[in-house]
């Protein structure tokens, strides 16, 4: 007998093969020992496009649009609430309230992403070990899901692979900004010390210098953007003006309030601190300090 044939009871050589019964038994055996789950959980490649050109504001808007139009995963589930909460530039929470139409029971999911420490994302393809027919985006660390009953690794579900890839790509873009933001925060102490020296010299001036023409132009553009409720544009204009003249109290104050409205509390606090350093005795100084305490509390939530 060689490796290619088996000798049957008739003495004739039969081709070596696996019949469908043998194959079915093998599958059942694999599932029994848990290999099926291991195969299903294995990463199926990284859909990240590292060359995605997108600003932070654009990435925020894409994520909000993607999440708020999330499709139902199963026909018996109804999503009652889909909400995105940005905490600074390095943390995100995605909220879902799901109701099972068959039983009326409600479930809550809160995906928490610490973007700066998040590992690369992968997409899990559909598999016959699971009832789910779409694709899943998973991360190994830096993210978790808090449900009604447990805390698990973050793994979001999408019906279309294109949506899953868009979700993964936009999180990658936000991660790059979060890493930059963390680096900026570590250097903020020395940067603020330099600002304090300049602010002290500015306060000592009997006559304060007028705003440079370019700063005045950015102020007008920011005010116009606010009138049209284009807050992200307004922030960009104020930041451009402050880059030219950081010793501009009203610019520091206004952009702080805008960041607060956008729930970017770290940036809000940073600019309000600089405002108070420039005009510590301003009529609204105590209100500004109170607002900073509120932002600090929200960053810890």
Residue by residue, DSSP assigns 167-229 as: HHHHHHHHHHHHHHHHHHHHTHHHHHHHHHHHHHHHHH-SSPPPPPHHHHHHHHHHHHHHHTT
Full domain range(s) for residue 104? 42-182
| Same domain, residue pair 171 and 206 | no
Instruction: Check residue 147 and give its pLDDT.
Output: 87
Report the interhelical angle of 231-244 vs 213-227 (nearest 10°).
170
In a domain, 116, yes or no: yes
Domain of 243, CATH number, reads 1.25.40.10
Contact 5, 13 (CB under 8 A): yes
| Same domain, residue pair 61 and 108 | yes
| More confident: 51 or 180 | 180
| Same domain, residue pair 51 and 178 | yes
Instruction: Check residue 41 and give its pLDDT.
Output: 47
Residues 269-296: tens digit of each pLDDT: 999 999 999 999 999 999 999 999 999 8
5 band by pLDDT with thresholds 50, 70 and 90: very low
| Same domain, residue pair 172 and 57 | yes
| Same domain, residue pair 250 and 294 | yes
CA angle in degrees (0–180, nearest 5) for 91-106-135: 60
In a domain, 228, yes or no: yes
Instruction: Check residue 184 and give its pLDDT.
Output: 76
Look up residue 154 and give its DSSP letter.
-
| Same domain, residue pair 230 and 154 | no
Tokens of 82: 């889909």
Residues 14-24: tens digit of each pLDDT: 444 445 455 44
Measured CA to CA, the distance from residue 29 to residue 18 in angstroms comes to 15
Provide the number of structural domains found in the chain.
2
Ranges assigned E (strand) in the chain = 5-7, 13-15, 77-87, 91-100, 106-114, 122-124, 135-138, 143-146, 151-153, 155-158
| Same domain, residue pair 142 and 66 | yes
Q: Of the spans 19-33, 176-190, 223-237, which averages the highest pLDDT? A: 223-237
Instruction: Check residue 42 and give its pLDDT.
Output: 46
In a domain, 206, yes or no: yes
| Same domain, residue pair 85 and 108 | yes
| Same domain, residue pair 95 and 136 | yes
In a domain, 14, yes or no: no
pTM flag (> 0.85)? no
In a domain, 7, yes or no: no
With 0-12 / 13-18 / 19 or more C-beta atoms within 10 angstroms meaning exposed / middle / buried, residue 91 is: middle
Look up residue 136 and give its DSSP letter.
E
**b/e sequence 164-196, b meaning 16+ C-beta within 10 Å:** bbbbbbbbbbbbbbbbebeeebeeeeeeeeebe
9 band by pLDDT with thresholds 50, 70 and 90: very low
| Same domain, residue pair 121 and 251 | no
Instruction: Check residue 293 and give its pLDDT.
Output: 94
| More confident: 290 or 119 | 290
In a domain, 25, yes or no: no
Q: Of the spans 23-37, 156-170, 245-259, which averages the highest pLDDT? A: 245-259
Contact 94, 171 (CB under 8 A): no
Which of 182, 200, 228 is the endpoint of a domain?
182
Which of 164, 182, 200 is the endpoint of a domain?
182
In a domain, 233, yes or no: yes
- CB under 8 Å to 216, separation ≥6 — which residues? none
Which of 124, 148, 182 is the endpoint of a domain?
182
| Same domain, residue pair 80 and 54 | yes
């Amino acid at each position: 007998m060689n490796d290619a044939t088996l000798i049957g009871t008739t003495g004739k050589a039969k081709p070596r093969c696996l019949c469908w019964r043998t194959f079915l038994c093998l599958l059942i055996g694999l599932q029994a020992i848990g290999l099926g789950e291991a195969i299903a959980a294995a990463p199926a490649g990284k859909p990240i496009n590292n060359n995605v050109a997108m600003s932070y504001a654009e990435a925020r808007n894409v994520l909000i649009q993607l999440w708020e139009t999330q499709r139902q995963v199963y026909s018996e589930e109804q999503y009652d609430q889909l909400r995105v909460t940005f905490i600074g530039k390095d943390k995100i929470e995605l909220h879902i309230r799901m109701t099972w139409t068959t039983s009326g029971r409600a479930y809550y999911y809160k995906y928490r992403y610490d973007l700066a420490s998040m590992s690369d994302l992968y997409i899990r393809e559909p598999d016959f070990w699971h009832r789910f027919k779409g694709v899943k985006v998973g991360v190994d660390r830096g993210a978790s899901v808090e449900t009604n009953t447990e805390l698990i690794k973050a793994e979001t579900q999408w019906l279309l692979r294109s949506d899953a890839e868009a979700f993964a790509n936009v999180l990658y873009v936000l991660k790059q900004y979060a890493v930059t933001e963390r680096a900026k925060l570590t250097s903020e102490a020395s940067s603020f010390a330099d600002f304090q020296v300049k602010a002290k010299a500015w306060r000592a001036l009997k006559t304060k210098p007028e705003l440079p023409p370019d700063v005045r132009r950015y102020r007008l553009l920011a005010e116009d953007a606010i009138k049209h409720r284009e807050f992200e544009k307004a922030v960009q204009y104020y930041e451009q003006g402050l880059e030219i003249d950081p010793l501009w109290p009203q610019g520091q104050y206004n952009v702080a309030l805008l960041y607060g409205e956008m729930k970017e509390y770290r940036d809000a606090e940073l600019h309000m601190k600089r405002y108070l350093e420039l005009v510590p005795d301003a009529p609204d100084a105590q209100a500004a300090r109170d607002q900073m305490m509120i932002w600090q509390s929200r960053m810890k939530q």
